[in-house]
Amino acid sequence: MQKTETFNVVYDKKDELIFAYGEGAAYPEHLYQHNGLANGVDGCANVTADHVAHFREQGYLVVHNAFSRAAVQAGLDGLLDLIAGKNGDFKGVMHEKKVRGVLVKTLPPEERQD
């Protein structure tokens, strides 16, 4: 069984950046390499029991056109608003250690999300 590390983060310092635990090292070069593209199903309405079985066996299921372009854009806009601090109640952004020393608040939203 894989050991899972748990931790609590206190988000009570509104203007202080929270950094992830672990090392701020570069990602391994091969981390995002792929050998092909996965097949998928077009739309949620077309998901069958065989697709669900594939998900349970492989851990993923590609569903093309699961969301409209408008829904995807609205979701992205909402995430960018959260990252930008436009919702004062949301304090859940945890930054990777490699951005320590970067003036994150001065970055454009599209860069800040990375």
Residue 47 within a domain: yes
Q: How many separate domains does the chain show?
A: 1
Residue 71 within a domain: yes
**Domain membership of residue 62 as a residue range:** 40-112
pLDDT digits (tens, 9 = 90+) for 53-98: 999 999 999 999 999 999 999 999 998 888 887 888 887 777 777 7
CA distance 114 to 102: 13
Residue 73 within a domain: yes
Residue 35 within a domain: no
Yes or no: say if 18 and 95 are a contact pair by the CB < 8 Å rule. Answer: yes
User: What is the overall mean pLDDT for the chain?
Assistant: 82
Residue 108 within a domain: yes
Residue 99 within a domain: yes
Residue 88 within a domain: yes
Residue 51 within a domain: yes
Asked whether residue 13 carries a pLDDT value surpassing 70, the answer given is no
Average pLDDT over residues 27-31: 83
Compute the half-sphere exposure of residue 59: CA atoms within 13 Å on the CB side of its CA: 0
CA distance 84 to 109: 7
